[in-house]
Amino acid sequence: MNPVTNFDTKKYGYVFNIQHYSVHDGPGIRTIVFLKGCPLRCQWCSNPESHQLTPTLAYNNNKCIGIDECGYCLKVCPVSAIERNEEDNKIKISWQVCDNCLKCSEVCPSNALTPYGKLMSVKEVIDAVEADSVFYSRSEGGITLSGGEPFFQMNFALELLKEAKKRRINTAIETTGYTNWTNLETLCQYLDTILYDIKCIDSGKHKKFTGVSNEKVLDNFKKMCEAFPNIVKIVRTAIVPGFNDTNEDIIEIINFIDGLANVQYELLPYHRLGQPKYEYMGRKYVMGNVKLDDNKMQTLITLVKNQFFFTDKLS
Ligand code: SF4
Ligand code: SF4
Protein backbone atom coordinates (compact mmCIF):
# COMPACT_ATOMS: atom_id res chain seq x y z
CA MET A 1 0.00 0.00 0.00
CA ASN A 2 1.65 3.20 -1.14
CA PRO A 3 0.62 6.16 1.03
CA VAL A 4 -2.46 7.92 -0.30
CA THR A 5 -1.60 11.43 -1.43
CA ASN A 6 -4.48 12.48 -3.70
CA PHE A 7 -7.23 13.20 -1.19
CA ASP A 8 -9.23 16.20 -0.06
CA THR A 9 -6.96 17.85 2.52
CA LYS A 10 -9.97 19.60 4.05
CA LYS A 11 -11.51 16.25 4.92
CA TYR A 12 -8.55 13.98 5.60
CA GLY A 13 -5.07 14.20 7.08
CA TYR A 14 -2.24 12.08 8.42
CA VAL A 15 -2.30 11.49 12.19
CA PHE A 16 0.31 9.49 14.11
CA ASN A 17 -1.20 9.48 17.58
CA ILE A 18 -4.20 10.56 19.62
CA GLN A 19 -3.21 10.81 23.25
CA HIS A 20 -5.93 10.94 25.88
CA TYR A 21 -5.95 12.49 29.37
CA SER A 22 -2.93 14.79 28.95
CA VAL A 23 -2.39 17.47 31.60
CA HIS A 24 0.78 18.98 30.09
CA ASP A 25 -0.29 20.57 26.84
CA GLY A 26 -2.76 23.33 27.63
CA PRO A 27 -5.34 23.95 30.38
CA GLY A 28 -7.23 21.10 32.07
CA ILE A 29 -7.39 17.51 30.87
CA ARG A 30 -6.83 17.39 27.11
CA THR A 31 -6.81 15.09 24.12
CA ILE A 32 -3.71 15.61 22.00
CA VAL A 33 -3.94 15.01 18.26
CA PHE A 34 -0.50 14.53 16.75
CA LEU A 35 -0.37 15.48 13.06
CA LYS A 36 2.32 14.23 10.68
CA GLY A 37 4.75 16.52 8.86
CA CYS A 38 7.27 19.09 10.06
CA PRO A 39 9.58 21.57 8.27
CA LEU A 40 12.06 21.58 11.18
CA ARG A 41 14.64 18.95 12.10
CA CYS A 42 15.44 19.74 15.73
CA GLN A 43 18.35 17.54 16.75
CA TRP A 44 16.64 16.59 20.03
CA CYS A 45 13.19 15.92 18.51
CA SER A 46 11.29 13.33 20.57
CA ASN A 47 8.74 12.71 17.79
CA PRO A 48 10.93 11.85 14.77
CA GLU A 49 8.07 9.74 13.39
CA SER A 50 6.29 13.03 12.73
CA HIS A 51 8.86 14.43 10.30
CA GLN A 52 7.60 12.88 7.09
CA LEU A 53 4.05 13.77 6.06
CA THR A 54 3.04 10.29 4.96
CA PRO A 55 3.11 7.09 7.10
CA THR A 56 6.64 5.92 7.88
CA LEU A 57 7.88 2.33 8.29
CA ALA A 58 9.21 1.33 11.71
CA TYR A 59 10.89 -1.99 12.61
CA ASN A 60 11.12 -3.20 16.20
CA ASN A 61 13.60 -6.09 16.27
CA ASN A 62 12.36 -7.32 19.66
CA LYS A 63 8.97 -8.16 18.18
CA CYS A 64 10.19 -10.13 15.14
CA ILE A 65 9.52 -13.87 15.63
CA GLY A 66 12.31 -14.91 13.25
CA ILE A 67 12.78 -15.56 9.54
CA ASP A 68 12.62 -19.36 9.77
CA GLU A 69 9.35 -19.19 11.70
CA CYS A 70 7.85 -16.46 9.50
CA GLY A 71 9.74 -14.54 6.81
CA TYR A 72 6.59 -13.15 5.17
CA CYS A 73 8.07 -9.68 4.84
CA LEU A 74 10.98 -10.90 2.69
CA LYS A 75 8.57 -12.37 0.18
CA VAL A 76 6.53 -9.21 -0.34
CA CYS A 77 9.21 -6.52 -0.42
CA PRO A 78 9.26 -5.31 -4.05
CA VAL A 79 12.74 -3.78 -3.86
CA SER A 80 14.59 -6.48 -1.85
CA ALA A 81 15.26 -4.11 1.04
CA ILE A 82 14.82 -6.90 3.62
CA GLU A 83 17.40 -9.61 4.28
CA ARG A 84 18.33 -12.14 6.94
CA ASN A 85 20.30 -10.85 9.88
CA GLU A 86 22.79 -13.70 10.39
CA GLU A 87 23.38 -12.64 14.00
CA ASP A 88 19.87 -13.35 15.29
CA ASN A 89 18.05 -14.94 12.32
CA LYS A 90 15.61 -12.07 12.30
CA ILE A 91 15.55 -9.42 9.58
CA LYS A 92 17.54 -6.35 8.76
CA ILE A 93 16.38 -3.54 6.51
CA SER A 94 18.47 -1.61 3.99
CA TRP A 95 16.93 1.76 4.75
CA GLN A 96 18.61 3.35 1.73
CA VAL A 97 16.82 0.86 -0.53
CA CYS A 98 13.41 0.82 1.22
CA ASP A 99 10.91 3.04 -0.58
CA ASN A 100 8.44 3.04 2.33
CA CYS A 101 5.71 1.20 0.41
CA LEU A 102 4.58 -0.42 3.71
CA LYS A 103 3.75 -3.77 2.06
CA CYS A 104 5.82 -5.61 4.67
CA SER A 105 3.86 -4.07 7.54
CA GLU A 106 0.64 -5.48 6.08
CA VAL A 107 1.87 -9.08 6.33
CA CYS A 108 3.87 -8.93 9.57
CA PRO A 109 1.95 -11.04 12.13
CA SER A 110 3.72 -9.67 15.20
CA ASN A 111 3.67 -5.92 14.48
CA ALA A 112 7.46 -5.88 14.33
CA LEU A 113 6.92 -3.89 11.13
CA THR A 114 4.36 -1.11 11.53
CA PRO A 115 3.64 2.28 9.98
CA TYR A 116 3.88 5.43 12.04
CA GLY A 117 0.76 7.34 11.09
CA LYS A 118 -2.47 6.80 9.20
CA LEU A 119 -4.98 8.75 7.17
CA MET A 120 -7.98 9.89 9.22
CA SER A 121 -11.03 12.01 8.48
CA VAL A 122 -11.94 15.18 10.39
CA LYS A 123 -15.00 13.36 11.71
CA GLU A 124 -13.01 10.34 12.93
CA VAL A 125 -10.56 12.56 14.80
CA ILE A 126 -13.13 14.84 16.42
CA ASP A 127 -15.37 11.89 17.34
CA ALA A 128 -12.38 10.37 19.17
CA VAL A 129 -11.72 13.69 20.88
CA GLU A 130 -15.34 14.26 21.83
CA ALA A 131 -15.45 10.85 23.52
CA ASP A 132 -13.36 12.46 26.29
CA SER A 133 -15.69 15.45 26.68
CA VAL A 134 -16.78 14.50 30.21
CA PHE A 135 -13.23 15.30 31.34
CA TYR A 136 -13.17 18.64 29.52
CA SER A 137 -16.24 20.08 31.21
CA ARG A 138 -14.88 19.37 34.69
CA SER A 139 -11.36 20.60 34.01
CA GLU A 140 -11.78 23.24 31.27
CA GLY A 141 -9.77 20.99 28.99
CA GLY A 142 -10.27 20.21 25.31
CA ILE A 143 -8.36 19.36 22.15
CA THR A 144 -4.71 20.28 21.50
CA LEU A 145 -3.30 19.95 17.99
CA SER A 146 0.34 18.92 18.07
CA GLY A 147 2.86 17.25 15.80
CA GLY A 148 5.12 17.48 13.99
CA GLU A 149 4.05 20.96 13.09
CA PRO A 150 0.24 21.24 12.76
CA PHE A 151 0.59 24.03 10.19
CA PHE A 152 2.23 21.51 7.85
CA GLN A 153 -1.33 20.22 7.25
CA MET A 154 -2.96 23.64 7.33
CA ASN A 155 -6.27 22.70 5.66
CA PHE A 156 -6.77 19.67 7.89
CA ALA A 157 -5.80 21.58 11.05
CA LEU A 158 -8.24 24.36 10.22
CA GLU A 159 -11.12 21.96 9.65
CA LEU A 160 -10.34 20.08 12.88
CA LEU A 161 -10.48 23.33 14.84
CA LYS A 162 -13.68 24.47 13.12
CA GLU A 163 -15.36 21.15 13.89
CA ALA A 164 -14.13 21.24 17.49
CA LYS A 165 -15.57 24.73 17.92
CA LYS A 166 -18.84 23.63 16.35
CA ARG A 167 -19.04 20.96 19.08
CA ARG A 168 -18.10 23.53 21.77
CA ILE A 169 -14.73 21.93 22.53
CA ASN A 170 -11.98 24.16 23.94
CA THR A 171 -9.09 24.40 21.46
CA ALA A 172 -5.31 24.71 21.68
CA ILE A 173 -2.35 24.22 19.36
CA GLU A 174 1.26 23.37 20.02
CA THR A 175 3.35 25.02 17.30
CA THR A 176 6.87 25.96 16.29
CA GLY A 177 5.39 29.12 14.74
CA TYR A 178 7.24 28.27 11.53
CA THR A 179 4.51 29.13 9.03
CA ASN A 180 3.33 32.17 7.12
CA TRP A 181 1.38 34.89 8.93
CA THR A 182 -1.83 34.28 6.97
CA ASN A 183 -1.97 30.68 8.23
CA LEU A 184 -1.36 31.69 11.82
CA GLU A 185 -3.88 34.53 11.64
CA THR A 186 -6.49 32.15 10.21
CA LEU A 187 -6.08 29.46 12.88
CA CYS A 188 -5.98 32.00 15.71
CA GLN A 189 -9.65 32.73 15.03
CA TYR A 190 -10.49 29.21 16.23
CA LEU A 191 -8.04 28.94 19.14
CA ASP A 192 -8.39 29.53 22.88
CA THR A 193 -4.75 28.79 23.76
CA ILE A 194 -1.48 28.72 21.82
CA LEU A 195 1.54 26.80 23.06
CA TYR A 196 4.35 28.47 21.13
CA ASP A 197 7.93 27.18 20.97
CA ILE A 198 10.67 29.77 21.19
CA LYS A 199 13.86 27.75 21.16
CA CYS A 200 16.46 30.52 21.10
CA ILE A 201 16.84 34.08 19.85
CA ASP A 202 20.12 33.64 17.95
CA SER A 203 19.02 32.84 14.38
CA GLY A 204 22.31 31.26 13.30
CA LYS A 205 22.26 28.87 16.23
CA HIS A 206 18.57 28.14 15.62
CA LYS A 207 19.36 27.19 12.03
CA LYS A 208 22.30 25.00 13.02
CA PHE A 209 20.26 22.95 15.52
CA THR A 210 16.81 22.91 13.87
CA GLY A 211 17.55 23.29 10.16
CA VAL A 212 15.68 26.61 9.82
CA SER A 213 16.28 30.20 10.90
CA ASN A 214 13.88 31.82 13.36
CA GLU A 215 12.99 35.27 11.93
CA LYS A 216 9.57 34.02 10.80
CA VAL A 217 8.92 32.44 14.21
CA LEU A 218 9.72 35.63 16.11
CA ASP A 219 7.90 37.96 13.67
CA ASN A 220 4.79 35.79 13.80
CA PHE A 221 4.80 35.80 17.58
CA LYS A 222 4.92 39.60 17.82
CA LYS A 223 2.19 40.01 15.20
CA MET A 224 0.01 37.45 16.95
CA CYS A 225 0.33 39.22 20.31
CA GLU A 226 -0.77 42.48 18.70
CA ALA A 227 -3.61 41.01 16.63
CA PHE A 228 -4.96 38.54 19.21
CA PRO A 229 -4.38 40.01 22.68
CA ASN A 230 -7.10 37.84 24.25
CA ILE A 231 -5.70 34.45 23.26
CA VAL A 232 -3.63 32.85 26.02
CA LYS A 233 -0.08 32.36 24.72
CA ILE A 234 2.13 29.94 26.57
CA VAL A 235 5.68 30.28 25.30
CA ARG A 236 7.67 27.11 25.85
CA THR A 237 11.39 26.47 25.69
CA ALA A 238 12.76 22.95 25.85
CA ILE A 239 16.11 23.30 27.61
CA VAL A 240 18.63 21.34 25.53
CA PRO A 241 22.22 20.78 26.73
CA GLY A 242 24.74 22.57 24.54
CA PHE A 243 22.04 24.50 22.69
CA ASN A 244 20.11 26.88 24.97
CA ASP A 245 21.00 25.94 28.55
CA THR A 246 22.73 29.15 29.63
CA ASN A 247 21.28 32.08 31.60
CA GLU A 248 22.02 34.31 28.61
CA ASP A 249 19.92 32.15 26.27
CA ILE A 250 16.89 32.37 28.56
CA ILE A 251 17.30 36.06 29.40
CA GLU A 252 17.24 36.83 25.66
CA ILE A 253 13.92 35.01 25.35
CA ILE A 254 12.48 36.74 28.43
CA ASN A 255 13.49 40.12 26.99
CA PHE A 256 11.78 39.23 23.72
CA ILE A 257 8.42 38.22 25.24
CA ASP A 258 8.39 40.67 28.13
CA GLY A 259 5.51 43.15 27.86
CA LEU A 260 3.67 41.29 25.09
CA ALA A 261 -0.05 40.65 25.62
CA ASN A 262 -1.31 37.64 27.58
CA VAL A 263 1.96 35.68 27.56
CA GLN A 264 3.07 33.01 30.02
CA TYR A 265 6.39 31.19 29.98
CA GLU A 266 7.32 27.55 30.65
CA LEU A 267 10.63 25.71 30.57
CA LEU A 268 10.65 22.03 29.67
CA PRO A 269 13.56 19.71 30.44
CA TYR A 270 15.33 17.86 27.61
CA HIS A 271 14.67 14.10 27.64
CA ARG A 272 15.61 11.13 25.49
CA LEU A 273 12.28 9.30 25.42
CA GLY A 274 12.16 9.49 21.62
CA GLN A 275 15.55 7.84 21.10
CA PRO A 276 14.30 4.26 20.37
CA LYS A 277 12.07 5.55 17.58
CA TYR A 278 15.12 6.74 15.64
CA GLU A 279 16.47 3.21 15.76
CA TYR A 280 13.12 1.74 14.64
CA MET A 281 13.28 3.97 11.53
CA GLY A 282 16.94 3.28 10.80
CA ARG A 283 17.99 6.79 11.73
CA LYS A 284 20.80 8.09 13.91
CA TYR A 285 20.03 9.94 17.15
CA VAL A 286 22.61 12.72 16.96
CA MET A 287 22.26 13.87 20.59
CA GLY A 288 24.00 10.67 21.77
CA ASN A 289 24.04 10.24 25.56
CA VAL A 290 23.90 13.92 26.43
CA LYS A 291 22.13 14.62 29.75
CA LEU A 292 20.58 17.75 31.18
CA ASP A 293 22.20 18.88 34.42
CA ASP A 294 19.41 19.06 37.06
CA ASN A 295 21.11 21.93 38.89
CA LYS A 296 21.38 23.94 35.70
CA MET A 297 17.69 23.35 34.98
CA GLN A 298 16.77 24.47 38.49
CA THR A 299 18.89 27.61 38.09
CA LEU A 300 17.06 28.48 34.88
CA ILE A 301 13.67 27.89 36.50
CA THR A 302 14.62 30.22 39.34
CA LEU A 303 15.85 32.78 36.84
CA VAL A 304 12.52 32.76 35.03
CA LYS A 305 10.55 32.85 38.30
CA ASN A 306 12.48 35.92 39.35
CA GLN A 307 12.17 37.73 36.05
CA PHE A 308 8.88 36.65 34.52
CA PHE A 309 5.45 35.27 35.36
CA PHE A 310 6.11 31.54 35.23
CA THR A 311 3.65 28.66 34.89
CA ASP A 312 5.64 26.15 36.87
CA LYS A 313 4.86 22.53 36.03
CA LEU A 314 8.22 21.24 37.12
CA SER A 315 8.39 21.69 40.87
S1 SF4 B 1 8.28 -0.66 3.32
FE2 SF4 B 1 10.39 -0.89 2.63
S3 SF4 B 1 11.09 -2.82 3.51
FE4 SF4 B 1 8.84 -2.81 3.61
S5 SF4 B 1 8.15 -3.82 1.74
FE6 SF4 B 1 8.20 -1.64 1.28
S7 SF4 B 1 10.24 -1.27 0.43
FE8 SF4 B 1 10.31 -3.27 1.44
S1 SF4 C 1 6.99 -10.47 8.88
FE2 SF4 C 1 7.44 -9.54 10.87
S3 SF4 C 1 7.72 -11.26 12.28
FE4 SF4 C 1 7.84 -12.08 10.18
S5 SF4 C 1 10.06 -12.11 9.73
FE6 SF4 C 1 9.23 -10.16 8.96
S7 SF4 C 1 9.52 -8.72 10.68
FE8 SF4 C 1 9.77 -10.77 11.50
pLDDT, tens digit (0-9, with 9 covering 90-100), for 130-185? 999 988 888 889 999 999 999 999 999 999 999 999 999 999 999 999 999 999 99
C-alpha to C-alpha distance for 182 and 174, rounded to whole angstroms: 17
The answer to whether residues 146 and 48 belong to one domain is yes
275 and 292 co-located in one domain: yes
The pLDDT of residue 307 is 83
In a domain, 281, yes or no: yes
Contact 201, 181 (CB under 8 A): no
Per the structure, how many domains does the chain have?
2
Which ligand has the shortest distance to the CA of 81? 1
Ligand 1, atom 5: closest residue by C-alpha? 77
Handedness of CA 176, 177, 178, 183 (dihedral sign): positive
141 assigned to some structural domain: yes
Same domain, 108 and 205: no
Considering the domain architecture, whether residues 48 and 196 belong to the same structural domain is answered as yes
If asked whether residues 39 and 164 sit together in one domain, one would say: yes
pLDDT of residue 313: 41
Residue 144's DSSP bridge partners are 32, 172
Q: In the chain, which stretches have pLDDT less than 70?
A: 1-4, 309-315
Identify whether 67 is part of a domain: yes
Domain assignment present for residue 136? The answer is yes
Please tell me whether residues 270 and 129 are part of one structural domain.
yes
Taking the CA of residue 113 as reference, the ligand 1 atom at the shortest distance is 4
pLDDT of residue 315: 34
Say if residue 27 is in the same domain as residue 75: no
Query: Does the beta carbon of 81 sit less than 6 angstroms from any atom of ligand 1?
Result: yes
Cα of 49 to ligand 2 centre, how many Å? Answer: 21
CB 31 within 8 A of CB 143: yes
pLDDT of res. 1: 54
Determine the structural domain holding residue 32 and report its residue range: 12-53+117-307
93 and 162 share a domain?
A: no
End position of a domain, from candidates 72, 87, 115: 115
Looking at residue 225, its pLDDT comes to 97
pLDDT of residue 4: 67
Q: Distance, CA 248 to ligand 2 centroid (Å)?
A: 50
Positive or negative: CA dihedral 247, 241, 17, 101: positive
For 11, list phi and psi in degrees, rounded to 5.
-110, -30
